[in-house]
Chain A
Amino acid sequence: MTSGLAGVLLLLAFAAGTMLDRRVERPPLTLGGYRVLAADFHTHSTTWSDGGLTPFGIVIEAGRQGLDAVAITGHNQVSDAKAGRWFSTLVGGPTVLVGQEIISPRRGSIPDHDLIAVGIESVVDWRTSIAQQIAEVHRQGGAAIAAHPARQYWPAYDTAALNTLDGTEVCQPMAFIHDGHDTLDAFSERTAATPIGSSDFHGLGRVGLCRTYVFATDNSAAAIVDALKGHRTVVYGVDGKVYGDRALVRLAESVPRLRAEAMMWLNRGGWLDWLSRIAGILGMLVLVAGAGSSASDEVRAAVHRS
Chain B
Amino acid sequence: MRVSPDIRLLFSPAVTYGDMRLNESARWWLWRPAMLLLVLGCTLSLTIGGRVMPRLVADAVLSFAFVPIVEIAAFAVVFRTGRSSLPFRRGVDLHFAGNGPWLLWIILVGALSVALPPRTFLRWMDPLLLSALLPAVWCAVIDFQLSRVVLQRSVARAAGDVVLLRLIAWPALIACYGAIGMWTQVLPTIAPWLFP
A-side interface residues toward B, CB under 8 Å?
Answer: 2, 10, 13-14, 16-18, 20-21, 46-54, 56-57, 60-61, 64, 75-79, 82-83, 86, 103, 123, 126, 173, 176-178, 203-207, 209, 238, 265-266, 268-269, 272-273, 276-277, 279-281, 283-285, 287-300
| A296 CA to B180 CA, complexed, in Å | 44
B-side interface residues toward A, CB under 8 Å?
Answer: 2-7, 20, 23-27, 31-32, 35, 38-39, 42-57, 59-60, 62-64, 97, 100, 103-104, 107, 109-111, 113-114, 117-119, 122-123, 125, 177-178, 180, 183-184, 187-188, 191, 194-195
> Given A14-B54, A48-B183, A277-B46, are A204 and B113 neighbors across the interface (CB < 8 Å)?
yes
> Given A86-B195, A284-B107, are A176 and B187 neighbors across the interface (CB < 8 Å)?
no
Tell me the smallest distance from the CB of B94 to a CB of chain A, in Å: 9
| A269 CA to B38 CA, complexed, in Å | 24
Residues in A neighbouring B59, C-beta threshold 8 A: 53-54, 56-57
| A20 CA to B46 CA, complexed, in Å | 13
| A8 CA to B187 CA, complexed, in Å | 43
Query: Is the beta-carbon distance between B35 and A178 smaller than 8 angstroms?
Result: no
| A54 CA to B59 CA, complexed, in Å | 7
> Given A54-B62, A177-B125, are A292 and B4 neighbors across the interface (CB < 8 Å)?
yes
Query: Is the beta-carbon distance between A299 and B52 smaller than 8 angstroms?
Result: no
Q: Which of A177, A204, A238 has the most CB of B within 10 A?
A: A204
Query: Is the beta-carbon distance between A52 and B48 smaller than 8 angstroms?
Result: yes
Tell me the smallest distance from the CB of A185 to a CB of chain B, in Å: 17
Residues in A neighbouring B6, C-beta threshold 8 A: 288-289, 291-292
Query: Is the beta-carbon distance between A288 and B107 smaller than 8 angstroms?
Result: yes
| A56 CA to B58 CA, complexed, in Å | 12
A-B contact pairs, 27 of them (CB 8 A): A13-B42, A17-B53, A18-B54, A46-B63, A52-B63, A53-B56, A54-B62, A57-B63, A77-B191, A82-B191, A126-B184, A176-B119, A177-B122, A178-B123, A205-B47, A269-B50, A283-B42, A284-B110, A288-B39, A288-B104, A289-B4, A289-B7, A291-B4, A292-B4, A292-B20, A296-B4, A296-B20
> Given A53-B63, A56-B59, A76-B180, are A290 and B4 neighbors across the interface (CB < 8 Å)?
yes
| A277 CA to B3 CA, complexed, in Å | 25
Residues in A neighbouring B60, C-beta threshold 8 A: 52-53, 57, 203
Query: Is the beta-carbon distance between B118 and A205 smaller than 8 angstroms?
Result: yes
Tell me the smallest distance from the CB of B196 to a CB of chain A, in Å: 9
Tell me the smallest distance from the CB of A140 to a CB of chain B, in Å: 14
Residues in A neighbouring B44, C-beta threshold 8 A: 52-53, 203
Q: Which of B20, B50, B55, B62 has the most CB of A within 10 A?
A: B50
Q: Which of B24, B110, B191 has the most CB of A within 10 A?
A: B191
Residues in A neighbouring B97, C-beta threshold 8 A: 291-292
Q: What is the predominant secondary structure among interface residues of chain A facing chain B?
A: helix
Tell me the smallest distance from the CB of A172 to a CB of chain B, in Å: 10
| A78 CA to B192 CA, complexed, in Å | 11
A-B contact count (CB 8 A): 203
- Tell me the nearest residue of chain B to A297, going by C-beta: B2
Q: Which of B4, B27, B177, B194 has the most CB of A within 10 A?
A: B4
> Given A276-B51, A288-B6, A292-B5, are A281 and B35 neighbors across the interface (CB < 8 Å)?
no
Query: Is the beta-carbon distance between B123 and A177 smaller than 8 angstroms?
Result: yes
- Tell me the nearest residue of chain B to A204, going by C-beta: B47
9 additional A-B pairs beyond A17-B51, A176-B123, A203-B48, beta carbons within 8 Å, are A14-B53, A18-B54, A53-B60, A76-B184, A126-B184, A291-B35, A299-B23, A299-B24, A299-B26
Tell me the smallest distance from the CB of A269 to a CB of chain B, in Å: 6
Tell me the smallest distance from the CB of B80 to a CB of chain A, in Å: 25
Residues in A neighbouring B117, C-beta threshold 8 A: 266, 268
| A103 CA to B63 CA, complexed, in Å | 22
- Tell me the nearest residue of chain B to A47, going by C-beta: B63
| A14 CA to B46 CA, complexed, in Å | 11
Query: Is the beta-carbon distance between B178 and A50 smaller than 8 angstroms?
Result: yes
> Given A177-B122, A291-B6, are A60 and B63 neighbors across the interface (CB < 8 Å)?
no
> Given A77-B183, A176-B123, A299-B26, are A280 and B46 neighbors across the interface (CB < 8 Å)?
yes
Query: Is the beta-carbon distance between A287 and B187 smaller than 8 angstroms?
Result: no
Query: Is the beta-carbon distance between B54 and A123 smaller than 8 angstroms?
Result: no
Partner of B47, one of A47, A52, A56, A64: A52
Tell me the smallest distance from the CB of B91 to a CB of chain A, in Å: 15
Tell me the smallest distance from the CB of B13 to a CB of chain A, in Å: 13
Query: Is the beta-carbon distance between A288 and B100 smaller than 8 angstroms?
Result: yes
- Tell me the nearest residue of chain A to B36, going by C-beta: A288
